[in-house]
Structure 1
Amino acid sequence: MGILQAVAFAAAESESDDSGIGPGLYGFLVLIFLIVALVVLYRSMRKQIRKVDFDPDGVSDDERMRGHREPPDR
């Protein structure tokens, strides 16, 4: 209960301290930069994921590390 009271007290103080200072242009530019960086990283991740060779036969990591495959049971 003490944490909730501290958060409520901090919120009440910030509401009463209306100095008119806000994030301004620099805050907006930082936000735009972060959004652009996120889009670039997302597109790069998609490109790398497409390059992953998915094995539908389900070869395990141990078999892949040893470099051989057991014939499938049919």
Structure 2
Amino acid sequence: MGILQAVALTAAESEAEDSGIGPGLYGFLVLVFLIVALVVLYRSMRKQIRRVDFDPEGATDSERMRGHQEPPER
């Protein structure tokens, strides 16, 4: 019961110290900016993911690199 009493006491203290000051306009603008940035980053990521060349054969990285190397000159 000690934990519940501590939580209740903390809640009562925070109500007594409430000065009525909130985040205001700047907090709202920061939130809107973060949401817009998240949407832009998400759309950019989707575009990049669509460009990924998926190999249905399941070749490993080393097998793919061997296919892109030029043969040594003799």
The structure whose residues are more often helix, as a share, is: 2
Both proteins in one fold, TM over 0.5: yes
User: How many residues of Structure 1 are paired with residues of Structure 2 in the alignment?
Assistant: 63
Q: Kindly indicate whether residue 30 of structure 2 is the aligned counterpart of residue 30 of structure 1.
A: yes
Write out aligned runs for 1:1-74 (5 A).
8=7, 10-65=10-65, 67-68=66-67
Structure 2 counterpart of 1:42, one-letter code: Y
CA distance in 2, matches of 1:50, 1:29: 32
State the distance in 2 between where 1:10 and 1:31 align.
Answer: 28
Give unmatched runs, 5+ long, in structure 2.
Answer: 68-74
Instruction: Flag as ranges the 4+ runs of structure 1 deviating above 2 A.
Output: 7-16
Letter of the structure 2 residue corresponding to residue 39 of structure 1:
V
- Structure 1 residues not aligned, in runs of 5+: 69-74
- 1:15 deviates by 2.5
Give identity over the alignment, percent.
Answer: 75
Look at both structures and tell me which one has the larger radius of gyration over its CA atoms.
Answer: 2
Q: Which amino acid aligns with 1:18?
A: D
- Taking structure 1 as the reference length, what is the TM-score of the superposition? 0.71
Q: Distance in 1 between matches of 2:57 and 2:24?
A: 56
Kindly state the Cα deviation for residue 55 of structure 1 after the two structures are TM-superposed.
0.6
SS in 2 for 1:45: helix
